[in-house]
Amino acid sequence: MTTSPYDYDLIVIGAGSGGVRAARMAATKGGRVAVIESRYLGGTCVNVGCVPKKLFVYASEFSQAFKDSAGYGYTVDKKPEFDWPTLRDNKTNEIKRLNGVYDGLLNRAGVDIIHGHGRFIDDHTVAVGDREIRAANILIATGSWPVMPEIDGAEHIISSNEVFYLDTFPQDVIVIGGGYIAVEFAGIFNGLGAKTHLVHRGEPVLRGFDDDIREFVSSELEQAGIQLLYNREISRVEILGTGRYRATLSDGSVRETDLIVSAIGRRPLLDGLDIDKAGVEAASAGHLEVNEHYQTNVRHIFALGDVIGRVQLTPVALAEGMYVADYLFGDVPGAVDYDRIPTAVFCQPNIGTVGLTEAEAAKRYERVEVYEANFKAMKNTLSGNPERTLMKLLVDCDSRAVIGAHMVGESAAEIIQGLAVAMTAGATKADFDRTIGIHPTAAEEFVTMRSPARIIGRDREDD
């Protein structure tokens, strides 16, 4: 009987969403699997991303709910008081519980958990401290890390990671960035009572989203009280004797604040991994290039999730992890569909989107119908809340397929998830039209849009 030269069939470096999924599924298929993790089980999403952020979003929405309740007959005898330590510590306890859940999932699947920083010795060997471990296959699932601005006084700026553990809650905050992380945190701080400024080098926010959504959200953010400082960057930060900070902007203006948060993007995390010793090459942008099977240029070394620079979303990493496990251990893997990835931005109001933007559809299709609805939700009629809802459907005129669905409004993510199922199944506009709506809801607007607002495409100007 031949003895294997390897300790494991698969070593996974990184116990985030994608790494854990790949490890668990590989182990259940009979593989000998180990996971190496230097920080926390669950990765960014569970610890300093999706989960704690969504809990903070829930907290931030209560302030508006208290105001809205007056129109429905409620009397609040005194102004509700928000206690930051309670939210922060309750969140931390929930994260600890989830860390334990991930530990249990891996252990029950028979995966060995190795705590420490992994680094390559060669293309089959990973060292953790003084221990060297060999594997037939290695998966890099180390995720991403916040990018910080390179300016004078950058040491006074925190990233989104540190927001979840602040000692005290600020009265005044500057958030740098215009992507979904920046917009979400601006909404959180604003909703929890901080005077909030969003400094963005462009205009409007949320580059890459549908243009109508971007303009609509920007208007709603300002209406909610967030000050949008467009076409500016922070060039210098100084700490004052009061403990506050003075930020000098690129236009020469100066602002004082309690806290400055950078949310200008995330970079693939390959620090200290020594991929060169394994012969793995990184792209010029810093991520790992992979083929359709998530193999790097070294065919038995795989990579997935944020580190490959495609779509930085937890469900995408999960799907990629499932593919790798299937590919390595016998099953026919199902390719990940990157064209219809539903996503959400948990600002106030929420954004949900799936499929093409209007600009993308105009480039790809000859003729596209654009359906729109812009209205005040019924819930806001008695409360006096000025927040509005926007919905869009994009339909290919030739096939009648629904190729894009976008929403800004309460529960947008919950609604768009259902539409994503329909679009993945190939739903046409006729399928939407013959679907009975649930009344009275905002969601029924998606099945009652009868007349297009305009027709766009490669062969014509907007009508």
How far apart, in whole angstroms, are the C-alpha atoms of residue 268 and residue 403?
A: 30
Q: Phi, psi at residue 175, to the nearest 5°?
A: -110, 130
Out of 117, 156, 406, 439, the active site residue is 439
How far apart, in whole angstroms, are the C-alpha atoms of residue 370 and residue 212?
A: 11
The CA-based angle 266-24-162, given to 5 degrees, is 30
Which of 142, 135, 130, 112 lies closest to 278, judged by CA?
Answer: 135
Sorted by sequence, the CB contacts under 8 Å of residue 271 that are 6+ apart come out as: 145
Cα distances (Å, whole numbers) of residue 38 to 65, 118, 272, 275: 40, 8, 11, 17
How far apart, in whole angstroms, are the C-alpha atoms of residue 47 and residue 164?
A: 9
Q: Is 397 helix (H, G, I), strand (E, B) or coil?
A: coil
Are the CB atoms for 12 and 137 separated by under 8 Å? no
Residue that has been written with the tokens 């704690």 in this structure = 52
The amino acid present at 201, given as its one-letter code, is R
DSSP annotation of 295 reads B
Q: What is the DSSP string of 37-80?
A: ESS-TTHHHHHHSHHHHHHHHHHHHHHHHHHHHGGGT---SS--
Sorted by sequence, the CB contacts under 8 Å of residue 444 that are 6+ apart come out as: 437, 438
Are the CB atoms for 260 and 159 separated by under 8 Å? no
117 is catalytic: no
Are the CB atoms for 22 and 151 separated by under 8 Å? no
430 sits in which H/E element? helix 429-433
The amino acid present at 333, given as its one-letter code, is P
The CA-based angle 265-270-271, given to 5 degrees, is 100
The residues that are catalytic are 439
